[in-house]
């Protein structure tokens, strides 16, 4: 011990000489290429050793597993550029006693007609032909439409409901003694409120929808389409999408789409509803084109999640005509139907060095957490913890011990600096 102290003191006294003696630059250059490596204490303690290896294996295993399964080594692009073109085919005839023979083609039932990703297919409708601007009775079903003996109709614009401007008069119905409907100035006669219980375009179940989706990941300059690329010109006009048999045939039967959402077509067709057609592209560009397929899923969009209320999807449009005298008349359509929202999502991943390094760096850092844990066990729980602590930590005291005797008690290897009295 005294030898060590002596050597240490000699070092302290002489330590600055060689630095001053040799060129500082040379010294710096020399030490710059010394390799510094942590000094380790090996605790040949099988318990902590096994604990450490187990922790190490768990961390490496978990991080590695996550690394592989989550493809953490890939740069991911989620900002997909997508273009959707749709085309609906099918013709339906309606032969009612009211209106005679009618034909509905795509130019009528697809709204808007221009083949975009959001389209509405009419499946049921209320037609009110030959409306003229006139004075007539409001619909009985409209809020504030009914009135009683005291002629309590409001006057003016109908803000939230109603078919025209209320004149303030109450029209009594002969068959009801005490209730009537308010008179309005508007398009008369007003629309009847009752839609058909059977969807008038029920055969829309057999309509086919062609969905062409072109996607592009701009950062990776990668683009693909969901349409089967074949030289066989008869393939597309005749195929129908089937997840297993024809996954690349982009032609869907409307009835199949509804069925896949778990609903009945005829129910939806009567009151209308909204369907989401989700096209998901999950592309792994490291493994070539073959790993980039469109995956379709179909969900109903307009159901309340908790209350199972009846929903409906409808809107109105009118066709305007002029008679020989130049006066307007119109046919009003209230259409019920199926709204299709084609939503495209996707991501593409390709190996990239940056996320890889970030993930590896984090993994290495996590291994440090294992060391920390084992240190705790070794230094605070093991039987020989004090001895381990003494060996692991080497103390340098900054100030002189008060009683500097050679028989001093030490808990750790200690070096005392700044002592006026020379060490023994």
Residue 401 touches a copy of itself, criterion: CB under 8 A: no
Please work out the total of residues on this chain that contact a copy of itself, with binding judged by CB under 8 A: 168
Residue 354 touches a copy of itself, criterion: CB under 8 A: yes
Residue 172 touches a copy of itself, criterion: CB under 8 A: no
DSSP output for 270-303 = HH-EEEEEEEEEEEEGGG-GGG--EEEEEEE-S-
User: How far apart are CB 172 and a copy of itself at their closest, in Å?
Assistant: 24
Tokens matching residue 261 = 């959402």
The span from the CA of 296 to the CA of 35, in Å, is 58
Identified binder of a copy of itself from the candidate list 68, 198, 396, 424, rule CB under 8 A: 396
User: How far apart are CB 147 and a copy of itself at their closest, in Å?
Assistant: 18
Residue 125 touches a copy of itself, criterion: CB under 8 A: no
Residue 256 touches a copy of itself, criterion: CB under 8 A: no
Residue 155 touches a copy of itself, criterion: CB under 8 A: no
Residue 154 touches a copy of itself, criterion: CB under 8 A: no
Residue 18 touches a copy of itself, criterion: CB under 8 A: yes
DSSP output for 311-323 = ---EEEEEEEEE-
Residue 44 touches a copy of itself, criterion: CB under 8 A: yes
DSSP output for 228-264 = ---S-TTHHHH---BTTTBTT--EEEHHHHHHHTT--
Binding site as annotated, residues for ATP? 87-89, 208, 314-316, 334
Residue 386 touches a copy of itself, criterion: CB under 8 A: yes
Can you state the angle between helices 385-392 and 353-380, rounded to 10 degrees? 130
Task: Kindly tell me which of 172 and 278 has the beta carbon lying closer to a copy of itself.
Answer: 278
- Binding to a copy of itself, residues 276-315 (CB under 8 A): 276, 278, 280, 299, 301-302, 304-307, 313, 315
Q: What is the SS3 string spanning 351-385?
A: ECHHHHHHHHHHHHHHHHHHHHHHHHHHHHCCCCH
Report how far apart, in Å, the C-alpha atoms of 144 and of each of 179, 192, 194 are.
12, 16, 18
Identified binder of a copy of itself from the candidate list 322, 351, 419, 424, rule CB under 8 A: 322
Residue 98 touches a copy of itself, criterion: CB under 8 A: no
Reference 335, options 124, 43, 30, 72; nearest CA is 124
Identified binder of a copy of itself from the candidate list 73, 109, 127, 164, rule CB under 8 A: 164
Q: Are 221 and 142 a contacting pair, CB within 8 Å?
A: no
């Amino acid at each position: 011990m005294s030898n060590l102290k002596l050597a240490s003191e000699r070092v302290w006294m002489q330590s600055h000489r060689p630095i001053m003696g040799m060129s500082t630059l040379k010294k710096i250059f020399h030490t710059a290429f010394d390799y510094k490596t942590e000094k380790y204490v090996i605790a040949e303690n099988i318990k902590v050793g096994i604990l450490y290896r187990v922790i190490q294996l768990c961390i490496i295993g978990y991080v590695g597993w996550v690394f592989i399964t989550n493809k953490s080594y890939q740069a991911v692009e989620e900002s997909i550029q997508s273009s959707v073109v749709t085309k609906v085919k099918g013709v339906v005839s309606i032969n009612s006693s009211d209106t005679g023979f009618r034909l509905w083609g795509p130019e009528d039932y697809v709204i808007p007609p221009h083949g975009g990703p959001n389209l509405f297919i009419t499946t049921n409708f209320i037609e009110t032909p030959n409306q003229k601007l006139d004075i007539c009775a409001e619909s009985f079903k409209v809020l504030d439409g009914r009135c009683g003996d005291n002629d309590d109709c409001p006057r003016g614009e109908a803000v939230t409901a109603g078919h025209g401007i209320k004149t303030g008069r109450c029209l009594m119905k002969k068959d009801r003694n005490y209730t009537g409907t308010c008179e309005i100035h508007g398009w008369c006669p007003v629309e009847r409120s009752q839609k058909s219980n059977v969807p008038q375009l029920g055969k829309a179940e057999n309509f086919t929808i062609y969905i062409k989706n072109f996607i592009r990941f701009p950062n990776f300059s990668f683009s693909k389409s969901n349409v089967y690329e074949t030289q066989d010109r008869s393939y597309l006009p005749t195929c129908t999408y089937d997840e297993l048999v024809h996954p690349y045939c982009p032609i869907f039967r409307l009835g199949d789409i509804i069925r896949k959402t778990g609903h009945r077509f005829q129910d939806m067709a009567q009151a209308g509803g909204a369907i989401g057609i989700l096209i998901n592209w999950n592309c792994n560009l490291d493994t070539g084109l073959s790993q980039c397929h469109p995956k379709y899923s179909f969900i109903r969009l307009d159901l309340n999640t908790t209350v199972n209320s009846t929903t409906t999807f409808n809107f109105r449009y009118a066709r305007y005509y002029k008679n020989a005298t130049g006066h307007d008349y119109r046919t009003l359509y209230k259409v019920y139907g199926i709204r299709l929202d084609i939503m495209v999502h996707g991501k593409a991943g390709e190996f990239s060095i940056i996320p890889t390094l970030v993930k590896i760096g984090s993994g290495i850092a996590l291994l440090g957490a294992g060391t920390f844990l084992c240190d705790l066990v070794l230094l605070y729980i093991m039987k020989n913890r004090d001895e381990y602590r003494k060996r692991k930590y080497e103390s340098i005291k900054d100030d002189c011990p008060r009683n500097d005797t050679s028989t001093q008690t030490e808990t750790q290897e200690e070096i005392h600096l700044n002592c006026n009295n020379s060490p023994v």
